Amino acid sequence: QVLVPESGPGLVKPSETLSLTCTVSGGSISSTNYYWAWIRQPPGKGLEWIGSIYYSGSIYYNPSLKSRVTILVDTSKSQFSLKLTSLTAADTAVYYCARDRRGGSWFDPWGQGTLVTVSS
Amino acid sequence: QSALTQPASVSGSPGQSITISCIGTSSDIGNYNYVSWYQQHPGQAPKLMIYDVTTRPSGVSSRFSGSKSGNTASLTISGLQAEDEADYYCSSYTNSATRVFGGGTKLTVL
């Protein structure tokens, strides 16, 4: 059973950078069948795809966030990470990581999600 | 990229069937059979219910089914049960190799 729990700070100040990590267990992050995705959900709102990365480093970003987002993969640690810069209150959300099927683009499984609040 | 369009809410009585639509464009739903659907109960992570338009993952009830016509995908839930009350989201692959979600639909079981 593949697990993808998120980790990182729950409170970040405006204008600073958010850093989150997702650690893959129960399966290989280097599988050729999957990308690894970050998705977020502001309180009371819908899901927003942030980006997906392949183990080789090939990556796709949501155009609306591309200028502020960096997603990296570290296969030696079975981890992938998210950095989001220039934070505002609008970035307050539950951030999820998920496995993203290559050649299908469905998300399963998901992490439990981590609430990140942007506030001074 | 624009979000896929879903109705904000739908409702039905136990035992009835409901359908949730998901409207996209020729750049996403209309061009790929890569539509998926997710169920989300309050305070929980989304759960995959349908992928590749019509395929149910192991463990998902056969009461859930998916379809697509042109730029519109649909999720049908038959024999509604109280436990089906949740938010539902569609997602699609796009021409730009990005992924896009719908705005979500709140299902109320009356």
pLDDT digits (tens, 9 = 90+) for B50-106: 999 999 999 999 999 999 999 999 999 999 999 999 999 999 999 999 999 999 999
- Residue A97 to residues A7, A23, A55, A115, B46, Cα–Cα distance (Å): 10, 9, 15, 12, 11
Mean pLDDT of B19-42: 97
Residue B97 with chain A: CB contacts under 8 Å: 60
**Confidence at residue B52, expressed as pLDDT on a 0 to 100 scale:** 97
Cβ neighbours of residue A66 closer than 8 Å, sequence gap 6 or more: none
**Confidence at residue B49, expressed as pLDDT on a 0 to 100 scale:** 98
**Confidence at residue B46, expressed as pLDDT on a 0 to 100 scale:** 98
Mean pLDDT of B23-37: 97
Q: Does B93 touch chain A (CB under 8 A)?
A: yes
Task: Give the C-alpha separation, A106 to B48, whole Å.
Answer: 8
pLDDT of B2 over the 90 cut: no
pLDDT of B11 over the 80 cut: yes
**Confidence at residue A104, expressed as pLDDT on a 0 to 100 scale:** 85
Give the pair of three-digit tokens for residue A69.
């987002």
Question: Between A and B, how many residue pairs show a Cβ–Cβ distance under 8 A?
Answer: 68
Q: In chain A, positions 17-56, which contact chain B (CB-CB < 8 Å)?
A: 37, 39, 46-49, 52
Give me the tens of pLDDT residue by residue for chain A, a chain 120 residues long: 999 999 999 999 999 999 999 999 999 999 999 999 999 999 999 999 999 999 999 999 999 999 999 999 999 999 999 999 999 999 999 999 999 999 888 999 999 999 999 999
pLDDT of B20 over the 90 cut: yes
- Top residue of B33, B35, B40, B99 to mutate, by most chain A CBs within 10 Å, is B99
Cβ pair B91:A49 closer than 8 A: yes
Report the 10 Å Cβ neighbour count for A28.
13
Report residue B1's pLDDT band, with 50, 70 and 90 as the boundaries.
confident
Residue type present at position A59: I
